[in-house]
Structure 1
Amino acid sequence: MSFVGLFERLYERHPVGVAEPELAEAEARLGVAVPPPLRELHLACGREPCVLASHNRFFSPRALERSDGRIIFCEENQGVCVWGCSPGDEDPLAEVGNVLRDDTLEWHSEQAPLSRFLAIQLYLQTAWGGFEHAGDLQDPDLVMSRIESEWEEVVRHQDLTIYWKPGALITALDGQPFLTGAARTEGGFVRLLGDLGFELL
């Protein structure tokens, strides 16, 4: 699914992206081509803070950086790490750079190509800030079978699982005794998540 299609699936409207000249200027400044998945993301959703700034902070084309041979495109919300990728490939691996005490970066693979990693982030950014109506569910064991049978699993990556129904998302982290839920509207939260026992924060 394209980033436009994914955004429309989540928000039920067409996204606003950046203009091509902004990416061309970024490439001229960086001296390398922006990898196609990152280019597509900005062209599709580059003016949408609900998916690019609601939790972690994606850099605009003019703020993209180069470091350690990588293009750095996103910063964790508390500044403890950044995400980047090596230019040159059509769909390079996404990498996370942990910020060390001397401000250098220690890089590790995210074990996903950039296109898949960015799609995961669109779901996660929506679940953790993009949808304004959010809450949690403690001790979810009694409803997990319902969630797994009635909701679509859209993300399973490392310790993260995300489930989707139109207008709502449920996020689970391995080892955590609770779920988080978020909905595009308050009515959607009550209808889709309240029925499972989620409490609106």
Structure 2
Amino acid sequence: MNLKKTIEKIIGRTLFSEEGIQKASILEQEKRLNIKIPSVLKELYSTAGNNTLFSDGFHHLAEITELFIKDNKLVFLQENQSVLHWAVDLADSKTVYQTTDQSFDKDVEWYSEELHVDQFIETIIYLQCVMSDESFHNKAKSGFRYFASLDISEYHNNKKSKNFIDNLHNDFRQIVNGNGLSIYWNPETILLYFLDKENQISDMILTCTKNEDVFDSLIDEYGFWEL
């Protein structure tokens, strides 16, 4: 996966060099920690580590100087409510773990994610876009201007809405389906929803789009609400 191309595809523009962290700074932190940062995570820092849409739009990507190791795992991401932390296993550089433990001075209980680190980072990139507010998008010049949600009851009770969601593959590419999340993308719109243990939609459906006509259609035809 080329993460830089993925991000540029999402926001529809070329990333500026200042949106990434200088390689010398990354190398300095690798020396501090005496590790090699997994390649996809290093690419995220070097291309968009200073772009707040992707570093802080929803979850918090640790600043390069905040990275730390626990149980041979590199802790790099904090959930938006500070309940969860995620880390990548340094033994294989592929497995992502999460924990709800708040104190890393004590023993920590880790749970592995379904997605390997490349898929996980890609998922986070799209999640940050949909869950961010307009101020992050404006600062990042992402092109996304319109945000909406569909209530789960509308999905179940409105045949037109349900048909639209159940056939997203007609107009979107599915980015991920699993690990509790389903994400769809096309050049103008990202749409996501969370999944329950049976892999069914568990909560409201969220979307952001660059196209006002698409936004109006979501509102007028499919029962979405403006956010």
Instruction: Verify same fold: TM over 0.5.
Output: yes
Equivalent position to 1:20, from 18, 23, 27: 23
Write the distance in 2 (CA, Å) between the matches of 1:147 and 1:36: 32
Larger % of strand: which?
A: 1
Greater shift after overlay, 190-199 or 10-19?
Answer: 190-199
1:92 and 2:117 are equivalent in the alignment: no
Give yes or no for contact 2:146–2:215 (8 Å, CA) kept in 1. Answer: no
Shift of 1:164: 1.0
Q: 1:127 to 1:93 in 2, by over 3 A?
A: same
1:187 and 2:212 are equivalent in the alignment: yes
Normalization by structure 1: what TM-score?
0.88
2:188 corresponds in structure 1 to: 167
Give yes or no for contact 2:53–2:128 (8 Å, CA) kept in 1. Answer: yes
Give yes or no for contact 1:133–1:189 (8 Å, CA) kept in 2. Answer: no
The SS at the match of 2:109 is strand
Write the distance in 2 (CA, Å) between the matches of 1:152 and 1:32: 36
Give yes or no for contact 2:146–2:212 (8 Å, CA) kept in 1. Answer: no
Q: 1:188 to 1:118 in 2, by over 3 A?
A: farther
Give the share of equivalent positions with the same residue, in percent: 22
Shift of 1:186: 6.4
Q: 1:47 to 1:197 in 2, by over 3 A?
A: same
Normalization by structure 2: what TM-score?
0.79
Shift of 1:2: 0.9
Alignment of 1:1-201 (within 5 A): 1-15=1-15, 16-89=19-92, 91-99=93-101, 104=106, 105-129=108-132, 131=144, 133-138=146-151, 139-140=154-155, 141-174=162-195, 175-183=201-209, 185=210, 187=212, 190-191=215-216, 193-194=218-219, 195-201=221-227
Give yes or no for contact 2:77–2:86 (8 Å, CA) kept in 1. Answer: yes
Shift of 1:40: 1.2
RMSD: 2.2
Report the AA paired with residue 122 of structure 2. A
Write the distance in 2 (CA, Å) between the matches of 1:93 and 1:109: 7
Write the distance in 2 (CA, Å) between the matches of 1:192 and 1:3: 31
Greater shift after overlay, 151-160 or 173-182?
Answer: 173-182
Give yes or no for contact 2:174–2:185 (8 Å, CA) kept in 1. Answer: yes
